[in-house]
């Protein structure tokens, strides 16, 4: 079974540009989560999508946005990039809305903003 796949693996952008990161969940998983991990810092929750709808949003500015497609894949868009957006962006997927859910994480996309 294929795991959670993220693309691109690495992305280099300059300040003010836009970045788009993509995530393909495990087959059958309907929930997709996005997290940001800046260097040396903890995992910060960004966005949660389930069945195509945004379920929850972390404490991030509106220039962080995303969507989930009918096939449950997802993309994260970051507009007007700032230097502090440089981080590892992790995507995770899970099967259904239950406390017994297990999240499976991808390897991440590393965004560098110059």
Partner 1 sequence: DAKTTQPNSMESNEEEPVHLPCNHSTISGTDYIHWYRQLPSQGPEYVIHGLTSNVNNRMASLAIAEDRKSSTLILHRATLRDAAVYYCILYSGNTPLVFGKGTRLSVIA
Q: Is 114 in the site for partner 1 (CB under 8 A)?
A: no
Residue 70 sits in the site that holds partner 1 (CB under 8 A): no
Q: What's the CA gap between 63 and 11, in Å, rounded?
A: 18
Which of 7, 18, 27, 56 lies at the binding interface for partner 1 (CB under 8 A)?
A: 56
Site string for partner 1, 6-45 (x = CB under 8 A): ---------------------------x-x------xx-x
100 is an interface residue for partner 1 by CB under 8 A = yes
HSE-up of residue 81 (Cα within 13 Å, Cβ side): 21
- Which of residues 7 and 101 has its CB atom nearest to partner 1 in the complex? 101
Dist CA 15 CA 84 (whole Å)? 10
Give CA torsion, residues 90, 96, 100, 102, to 10 deg: -30
Q: Which residues contact partner 1 (rule: CB under 8 A)?
A: 33, 35, 42-43, 45, 48, 56, 58, 90, 92, 96-108
């Amino acid at each position: 079974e294929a795991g959670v796949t993220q693309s691109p693996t690495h992305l280099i952008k300059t300040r003010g540009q836009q970045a788009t990161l993509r995530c393909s969940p495990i087959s059958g998983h309907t929930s997709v989560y996005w997290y940001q991990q800046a260097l040396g810092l903890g995992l910060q929750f960004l966005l949660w999508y389930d069945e195509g709808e945004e379920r929850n949003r972390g404490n991030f500015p509106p220039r962080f946005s995303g969507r989930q497609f009918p096939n449950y894949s997802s993309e994260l868009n970051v507009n007007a990039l700032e230097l502090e957006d440089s981080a590892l962006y992790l995507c995770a997927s899970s099967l259904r809305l239950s406390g017994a859910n297990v999240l499976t994480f991808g390897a991440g996309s590393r965004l560098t903003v110059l």
